[in-house]
Structure 1
């Protein structure tokens, strides 16, 4: 069993990779955009304050991860991973269930390609539709959090998925 935390800038290919891993392993995907979108729909209806949705969504994400790991299922958390707390919670829940912790970063340092992907996808309420500036993009890339140890995998998600999926699967099972 394993718990995988996906990471990367919006539009970098996290969800595409998570889906391929799930198809190959049978694990469950907990998608932060799905959780946060559901909460934001409640904001529109006036039931929740908008500034609380991110934290509440992560709490719900980890409650679902805990629930599925307790059932003996492997899980992928599909989220940008912009906060150290997300990694801390991920490693703690992995220890709790004595499962392998895997961190996979989809890295795409191409402002034009990211914007192309963001504008061409079917957007959820919680997702950005474009990056406004190159500076904001590079700043966000610099602040993406990684585990303190060196046990993580970064893939160049500008390349086709089939060029790195075998490397990803080897990393998961090692």
Structure 2
């Protein structure tokens, strides 16, 4: 059993990889975009608006509650979210330790901003998902500032390549 924390810029292939891992391992996926979109839709339907930062925190609170619940029930869990903040790493590590699950971390890395722009433009977009990088500078800053666990083994995959080229490496890492 494991807890896998995914990371990577939007459009880097996290969700695609998470689905493949889930199909192979039976792990439950907690997708941050799903919870954040649900909160945005609910607020909108009730005529409320909130600052984006507050909505982001609310959705992470929901995500972590789901991760805790699924881990407590003996499931392997994949957290599908960009990992841009240290507190996300800390919470993931704490929950893995609490439930005595192997902690794993995979970053989907794509350095080509044009590939990211194309993927974002051509995907079926949820309400919470960005349409394009806000700026080239912001994109490269996000790549550089991606948080990684300091005391845990992790892998970074070049997800600009076909998933078949790195899926077996990721599965091998998860099973070690």
Match of 1:151 among 133, 150, 153: 153
Q: Is the 8 A contact 1:32 1:77 kept in 2?
A: yes
1:11-160 correspondence to structure 2 within 5 Å = 11-45=11-45, 46-47=47-48, 49-51=50-52, 52-149=54-151, 151-160=153-162
Long gaps (5+) in structure 1? none
- Tell me if structure 2 keeps the 8 A contact 1:104–1:152: yes
Q: Give 1:114 deviation, angstroms.
A: 0.2
Task: Quote the offset at 1:150 in angstroms.
Answer: 5.0
State the shift of 1:42 in Å: 2.5
Secondary structure of 2:170's counterpart equals: helix
State the superposition RMSD in angstroms: 1.1
Shift of residue 44, structure 1, vs aligned partner = 1.9
Q: Is 140-149 or 90-99 further displaced after alignment?
A: 140-149
Cα distance in 2 between the residues matched to 1:48 and 1:152: 38
SS at 1:148 equivalent = coil
Partner of 1:163: 165
Return the alpha-carbon distance in structure 1 between the equivalents of residues 138 and 90 of structure 2: 25
In structure 2, what is the Cα distance between the partners aligned to 1:113 and 1:91? 31
1 CA distance for matches of 2:39 and 2:8? 22
Q: 1:50/1:21 Cα in 2 relative to 1: closer, same or farther (>3 Å)?
A: same
What is the total number of aligned residue pairs between the two structures? 174
CA distance in 1, matches of 2:55, 2:163: 31
Structure 1 residues 156 and 16, CA gap change in structure 2 (3 angstroms): same
**Structure 2: gaps (5+ residues):** none
TM-score, normalised by the number of residues in structure 2 = 0.96
Tell me which stretches of 4 or more aligned residues in structure 1 moved more than 4 Å.
none
